[in-house]
Amino acid sequence: MPTRDVLRVALTLAAALALAPLLPGQLVTAEIPAPPEAPEAPEALEAPEAPEAKEAQRIRPHWEHVSDALIRLDQALVQQFSGELWSEVRETVAAGQLAALAARDGGADLGLCLAMQRTLSVLSRRQDLLEREAFAGDRARSRHPDDEQAATAWIDAEYAAAAAGFNGLADELSFAEGRLPQTSYLLVELLFGQQRDDEAGQALARGLALWPDDTGLHEQAQAWSGVLLSPEHLLNQLERRVDVFDITDADFAGIALETISVLQTAMGKARYADQEYALAGLHFDRASRALQRVRSMPRQWGQDELDYREADALVNAAYSYMGLALAQWKPDRADETGALAAEACEKALTDALRTIPGHADASEAVLWLGESLMKKGDDTAVTHGDVAQMRDLYGRMAKRFDNAVWWNNFAFWCRETGSAAEGRGELDEAHKLYEASYDAYQHTIALAPDNARYVNDTGLMLLYHLHRDLDVAQELFERAWKLGADVCENPFVEDDVHDFNFEAYCDAMLNLSRLHLEREDLAAADEVMALLLELAPQRPDVRMTEAEIRNARAPAATNEPG
């Protein structure tokens, strides 16, 4: 329940004045004009009091009581829906009822006073029912301390009675509907609480039609958006009003667009659950656009909340479009609609990451998009073109956001596709991909200089694929070795981090040993290998490299003088 301030009361008063029939002589202006001066009377007679002054004095006090009653009503709603002490709720309701009665006795609009009184009365009795539910268990155990079955039956009966009471309050309150937004707010809450969702949605639509800028009603629409049976009706109602009032009433348009974004999001989730991916993506996109529009208007949400809601909507749109792409690719991996949907997915993720750099869900979705581009729902039919699509996605995202993970993925898949091209005899293409891989790895370790795996893989490109700059490769392997070993020596490091770094620095040691072997520096190769055998004697690649070093030593041994 939102905290309603004095502005809310002022708006309610203004609405009540607009709805109330005018009584003879009743004033509806904000300022009560001073009564005209009475004509000067003879000394022996007192001047009679002007009738306008009498009417002004009569009306001013009852509107002060109306204002007090509305303030108390708002305060009681806040207290009840925020779980404050029940005694405080009762005190506030009692004060509000006294103020409403005083306003009625003072000549305020009868319909308005009755609406306030009935709403406060329902609020009070709702509090009684809430307490009845809350203490049902304690009372049951007190009445039936030794009979669990009887206690359970008593609790069930209490809950059933409370439910009947809530339904009765909703029916009663419906007769007071149409004079106060607070009445509509409470009615909607009661109806939704009793799962009378269709009636609740209709009451909410009626309330927003009368008070389109009421904060409480908009928050009800947002809170119950996922269970509205016909959100389209409310959505269309709000969108039509936004089109009319976007310029003339920015206060209304701002809060309405916030609600529109929530309703669009709820509809998108429902469509996604039904695997209607195209419609789901459309709803999420519309939610995002509504949030973009509201940024320049008065609004309830702060900048951070707007950013997160927009990023979440865009991520949801991305998953929807990728769902559509996978559905299209299932019968045909080359389907053009699937390709267009994948492009829409990438754009949505790009927009999300520009809204919130490093957004966790968007970053994770990029990896899922890459895998989906490669497998297309069937990892047994992957082609060279599929792998290239995934590789290029990571390249584009890495260049846009300078992200170490995506630079690393781009580097890895450039290396893999380069090896595949080399295997096909496409040597120029292979060399170009190897150079791209090495360049990407350099970006990677510039962003993550302490990652042993990234540092090792950068040196690997020079040793095995580009066959150059072996001094640089040696420095990289030695650096990776130290980085990984330092992490593993930390007794508090988590197991998965330890295992990742252990494997990385063992790889670096193996690569360093092979680099020495490549240079025919057998002593250096042997020295590193001896240490590696103590760490990972079971690895086949370690054993194979040890054998190569031993075989390289054998001819030298036979040439020694005997």
Handedness of CA 154, 155, 161, 164 (dihedral sign): negative
Query: Degrees (nearest 5) of the Cα angle 204, 208, 209?
Result: 115
Separation between Cα atoms, residue 214 and residue 207, nearest integer Å: 9
pTM score, two decimals? Answer: 0.80
Say what percent of the chain tops pLDDT 90: 66
Tokens 């309603």 belong to residue: 4
Residue 75: is its pLDDT beyond 90? no
Q: Which residue has the higher pLDDT, 502 or 111?
A: 502
Residue 357: is its pLDDT beyond 80? yes
> Does residue 52 contact residue 36 with C-beta atoms inside 8 Å?
yes
Residue 146 has what pLDDT?
A: 86
> Does residue 295 contact residue 321 with C-beta atoms inside 8 Å?
no
Residue 262 has what pLDDT?
A: 96
Q: Which residue has the higher pLDDT, 438 or 81?
A: 438
First to last CA, the chain: 96
pLDDT band at 247 (very low <50, low <70, confident <90, very high): low
pLDDT tens readout for residues 297-355: 888 899 999 999 999 999 999 999 999 999 999 889 888 999 999 999 999 999 999 99
Question: Can you state the percent helix, strand and coil of the chain, rounding each to 5?
Answer: 75, 0, 25
Residue 298 has what pLDDT?
A: 85
pLDDT band at 245 (very low <50, low <70, confident <90, very high): low
pLDDT tens readout for residues 1-45: 444 443 344 444 444 444 433 333 332 333 334 444 544 544 544
Minimum mean pLDDT range among 253-262, 349-358, 398-407, 413-422:
253-262
> For 29-54, b where at least 16 C-beta lie within 10 A, e where not — what string?
eeeeeeeeeeeeeeeeeeeeeeeeee
Say what percent of the chain tops pLDDT 70: 86
Separation between Cα atoms, residue 1 and residue 324, nearest integer Å: 38
Angstrom CA distances, 529 to 331, 522, 557, stand at 51, 10, 19
pLDDT tens readout for residues 172-206: 999 999 999 999 999 999 999 999 999 999 999 99
Separation between Cα atoms, residue 235 and residue 337, nearest integer Å: 29
Separation between Cα atoms, residue 112 and residue 182, nearest integer Å: 12
Residue 206 has what pLDDT?
A: 95
Separation between Cα atoms, residue 367 and residue 348, nearest integer Å: 14
For residues 373-377, average pLDDT: 94
For residues 114-139, average pLDDT: 89
Residue 76 has what pLDDT?
A: 84
Separation between Cα atoms, residue 396 and residue 417, nearest integer Å: 17
Give the pair of three-digit tokens for residue 328: 């299209």
pLDDT tens readout for residues 445-475: 999 999 999 999 999 999 999 999 999 999 9
Q: Which residue, among 166, 183, 185, has the nearest Cα to 175 in the 3D structure? A: 183
Instruction: Round the average pLDDT of the chain to a whole number and report it.
Output: 87
pLDDT band at 86 (very low <50, low <70, confident <90, very high): confident
